[in-house]
Amino acid sequence: MIRHSFISVIAVLQSHSHIRTLQAWLNGLYGELSEQFSDFEFIIVNNHCSVADIDEVIRPLPEDLRKNIFMLNLSTPVSRDNALLAGLDRANGDYTVIFDFDFAGQPQVLTQLWERSQQGYDIVYLRARERRLPLSQRLLYRIFYFILKRYSQLRIDPWAHHTRLISRRALNSLLRLRENSRYLKANYALVGYQTAFLPTEVPLHAEPETTFGEQFRTALVAVTSFTTFLRSLLLWIFLSSVIVAAVAVFNAVKVKFTNIDIFGDRVESLSGWAFLVVLMSVFFAITCLNLYIMSIYLSNIYSEIKNRPLYIIESVKRY
């Protein structure tokens, strides 16, 4: 049965391993799409790979397949999310599918995503059961998703693959979020809409070219853009500084009058020492208070200049 929907399929080429997989990826999806859907297109975002190598892979393909391919060549390398954004901007379909090369041997997954969306969902993604990464990276991800869950109202699935289907109306809302520092999984959660997932046995893993430093910077951007973690951290620093200052003042006064500190040790009181400790403690607490107040103002300014929409209308019903 042919499904009368226009499907845009997006992939990002950013390594030679992707180029080697490209032909199998295209052939598999072309067979699935031509049998299942009336209209489709492939949008390939070349994130600074060799155009000659890509052409060598695409030229031998059948003409009926090649005429549905659009390749966007980026002038300079960008992050994966920004490269995906270039493809999302170009997508014309009723549904847009971001389809990772990890699923090149499973083209039927695309139809499964579409069928799930017909049950009333605008975003359907693939959910892994495990994450195959070195211990240091697994710890980073665990801390990262804990902060997102604890210090933001976004509900981001830590086991979600990039591969997902997005309806036209959800994509239009997503493209309204024009931020320079993007973390697409947070943006998917930010726009809302009905979301579902399909389980998959393919594990999550890092791209071979992605370093630990790049992953850490991406995590830092997401934490600062979508959570109140740093503001909360400054609050705890301020409260801790007040406690430390109060203990220091109490200890200084106690030593001044009894020559015994809070640990019970006998200490000789020096002239002017108690005054200096009290003065430094007070100014330390005041400095931390000022930093916390400034963080509140900076956080509010940061939220304003991002110019996110205050609300998104999912649909309008007429009677």
Over its length of 319 residues, how does the chain's per-residue pLDDT go in tens digits?
788 899 999 999 988 888 889 989 999 999 999 999 989 999 998 888 888 888 888 888 888 888 898 888 888 887 888 888 888 988 999 999 999 988 988 999 999 999 999 999 999 999 998 888 778 778 888 888 888 888 888 888 889 999 999 999 999 988 887 666 567 888 888 888 899 999 998 888 877 666 667 777 777 777 777 777 777 877 787 788 778 778 877 877 777 778 777 777 777 766 666 667 777 777 777 787 777 777 776 766 766 676 665 545 454 544 4
Q: How many CB atoms lie within 10 A of CB 231?
A: 15
Question: Could you tell me if residue 95 is inside a domain?
Answer: yes
Q: What's this model's pTM, rounded to 2 decimal places?
A: 0.77
167 and 295 in a single domain? The answer is no
Q: Which domain holds residue 62?
A: 3-133+156-205
Cα 173 to the center of its chain, rounded Å: 17
Angle at 274 between CA 268 and CA 280, to 5 degrees: 135
CATH number at residue 184: 3.90.550.10
Question: Could you tell me if residue 311 is inside a domain?
Answer: no
Question: Could you tell me if residue 218 is inside a domain?
Answer: no
Torsion sign, CA atoms 45, 46, 52, 54: negative
234 and 119 in a single domain? The answer is no
36 and 121 in a single domain? The answer is yes
pLDDT for residue 99: 93
19 and 105 in a single domain? The answer is yes
252 and 107 in a single domain? The answer is no
Question: Could you tell me if residue 215 is inside a domain?
Answer: no
102 and 243 in a single domain? The answer is no
Distance CA 253, CA 260 (A): 10
177 and 233 in a single domain? The answer is no
Tokens of 279: 């003065």
165 and 268 in a single domain? The answer is no
Question: Could you tell me if residue 139 is inside a domain?
Answer: no
Angle at 47 between CA 76 and CA 163, to 5 degrees: 145
Question: Could you tell me if residue 13 is inside a domain?
Answer: yes
Q: How many CB atoms lie within 10 A of CB 235?
A: 15
The DSSP output letter for 71 is E
164 and 59 in a single domain? The answer is yes
Distance CA 214, CA 179 (A): 19
240 and 200 in a single domain? The answer is no
- Quote the number of domains for the chain: 2
Question: Taking a C-beta distance cutoff of 8 angstroms, is the pair 29, 105 a contact?
Answer: no
Question: Could you tell me if residue 108 is inside a domain?
Answer: yes
118 and 265 in a single domain? The answer is no
The DSSP output letter for 209 is T
Question: Taking a C-beta distance cutoff of 8 angstroms, is the pair 6, 39 a contact?
Answer: yes
Give kind and range of the element (H or E) at residue 239. helix 229-258
3 state SS of 44: strand
pLDDT for residue 319: 41
179 and 40 in a single domain? The answer is yes
Distance CA 137, CA 157 (A): 17
Angle at 114 between CA 67 and CA 42, to 5 degrees: 20
Distance CA 91, CA 44 (A): 11
Distance CA 192, CA 169 (A): 11
| CA contacts within 13 A on the Cβ side of 188 | 29
Cα 257 to the center of its chain, rounded Å: 57
Distance CA 25, CA 58 (A): 11
Question: Taking a C-beta distance cutoff of 8 angstroms, is the pair 111, 34 a contact?
Answer: no
The DSSP output letter for 159 is T
Question: Could you tell me if residue 211 is inside a domain?
Answer: no
